[in-house]
Structure 1
Amino acid sequence: MDVNFGMEWFSRDEKFSFDVRRSIILGHYMHEWGMPEHRVITVKASRKIHVEIYYFPAGKNSKVSRFATVGLSMARRPSGALVSAEWMLALTSDLGGESSDRVFSYVVDLIAHHIENAASSTPPIVMAESEIAPAKWSSKALLIDELRGESESLEGIAVGSESVPVLWVIPINSREVDIINREGVEKFDEIIEKSIYSIVDPQRI
């Protein structure tokens, strides 16, 4: 996807609709995680795709950093179907040894791939290991699933008559991919609960 800050291809009504959506969804994020530190916008003008990604760094009340989308739910797949979900990526405060710019770049690539190739946003979704994952992470695959450990208000954000779910993007390693594929997400959750590593640590082994 191209990186751009314009919305010139949106009609006035479409811009207004996006502004309302941003206000509601971002308001929920800020209520839970405080002020974002950075924002990156990725667009595909030919299909009126405009997705904003916000970075909420770890603070005094939380050791978890988060990257969360606004607008992904409005993006249309090549089939014309809406993605109909936003994403949240939670990481350790040091971002697994990577810079926020590197994580932003990774999330942009993931969004582009998901919009173009995924059939739906129905969780759980497992994405195999990829070379686009940050080099310092041992967890180079992904699980996209329902939120865990976050406010219930984020499970379905009311935007007019629409309920927009926020899905959790979880970096996982090849061993965890095998476990999920063989035994399901519940088994993965059991193993993580007993592990010395946090589920938000992308360097776990």
Structure 2
Amino acid sequence: MQINRESSQEKLLNLDIKRTIILNLYMKEWSMPEYRVIMTKPEIGVYIEIYYFPSTNENNPARFATVGLSNSVRKTGKPTETEWMLALTPDMGQESVDRIFSYFCDLLAHTIENVKSSEVPRVMTESALAPENWTAKALLIDELRGESEDLEEIQIGEEIISVLWVIPITDKEARLILEEGIDAFDAYTEKLQHSIIDPTRPY
């Protein structure tokens, strides 16, 4: 019983340290978060905090980012060793913060339960769980782009955590990546007239 208690205390301490370091880096880049939700699934040891960083002006994205995903263990027994960041246009695709939190939690649960590795790029095809007002109902998980290099890899003790970029994409864009690769998608986005973080862009 004492061993379990010590183990539990160690996990809490580990999360506290991780939160302090990761959240400090997030706030340095994106200012203060406005909301937080906590996603837990004790039976498989999942405890993830998701923070919402509102847009501060029309040129600055709204962001949702995790702390604790990197502690989550996949069915393979391996920890994810990653955190996620979702950036959206300031209007968030005409959806509420609560709706996006709900969608983000669904994505995290699916990934922990069904995806065997954190290898990127990874495409998730169109989902009925995506917010109703979005045209970009598929998803790309890739290396972080357009953010501070300090966020790309975060070292905490001997652990190195990668912060991954979660990007809503259209069905057409998902097929492009699956058929022609990420380089073809990058070339496509350079010519795109709409922002890649606008989840209501045309098909």
TM-score by length of 2: 0.94
Contact 2:144 2:165 in 1 (8 A): yes
Aligned residues: 198
Following superposition of structure 1 onto structure 2, how do residues 1-205 of structure 1 map, counting pairs within 5 Å? Answer: 11-60=8-57, 62-205=59-202
User: Over residues 1-20 of structure 1, what are the superposed CA-to-partner deviations in whole Å (9 max), with x where a residue is unaligned?
Assistant: xxxxxxx9971111111100
When residues 195 and 159 of structure 1 are mapped into structure 2, their CA distance, relative to the original with a 3 A threshold, is same
Measured in 1, the distance between the counterparts of 2:144 and 2:107 equals: 18
Superposition deviation, residue 61 in structure 1: 8.2
Measured in 2, the distance between the counterparts of 1:137 and 1:60 equals: 21
Contact 1:139 1:203 in 2 (8 A): yes
Measured in 2, the distance between the counterparts of 1:76 and 1:178 equals: 29
Contact 2:58 2:90 in 1 (8 A): no
Unaligned runs of 5+ in 2: none
Superposition deviation, residue 86 in structure 1: 0.3
When residues 9 and 141 of structure 1 are mapped into structure 2, their CA distance, relative to the original with a 3 A threshold, is farther
Larger helix proportion, structure 1 or 2?
Answer: 2
Measured in 2, the distance between the counterparts of 1:11 and 1:50 equals: 12
Contact 1:139 1:171 in 2 (8 A): yes
Superposition deviation, residue 117 in structure 1: 0.4
Superposition deviation, residue 143 in structure 1: 0.3
The alignment partner of 1:17 has SS state of: helix
Measured in 2, the distance between the counterparts of 1:58 and 1:90 equals: 10
Measured in 1, the distance between the counterparts of 2:194 and 2:81 equals: 32
Large movers: runs of 4+ above 6 Å = none
Alignment correspondent of 1:5:
none
Measured in 2, the distance between the counterparts of 1:163 and 1:28 equals: 14
Measured in 1, the distance between the counterparts of 2:13 and 2:107 equals: 27
2:130 is matched by which residue type in structure 1?
A
When residues 14 and 128 of structure 1 are mapped into structure 2, their CA distance, relative to the original with a 3 A threshold, is same
* Bigger mean CA deviation after superposition, 55-64 or 108-117: 55-64
The alignment partner of 2:133 has SS state of: coil
When residues 13 and 56 of structure 1 are mapped into structure 2, their CA distance, relative to the original with a 3 A threshold, is same
Contact 1:9 1:48 in 2 (8 A): no
Alignment correspondent of 1:3:
none
Superposition deviation, residue 79 in structure 1: 2.1
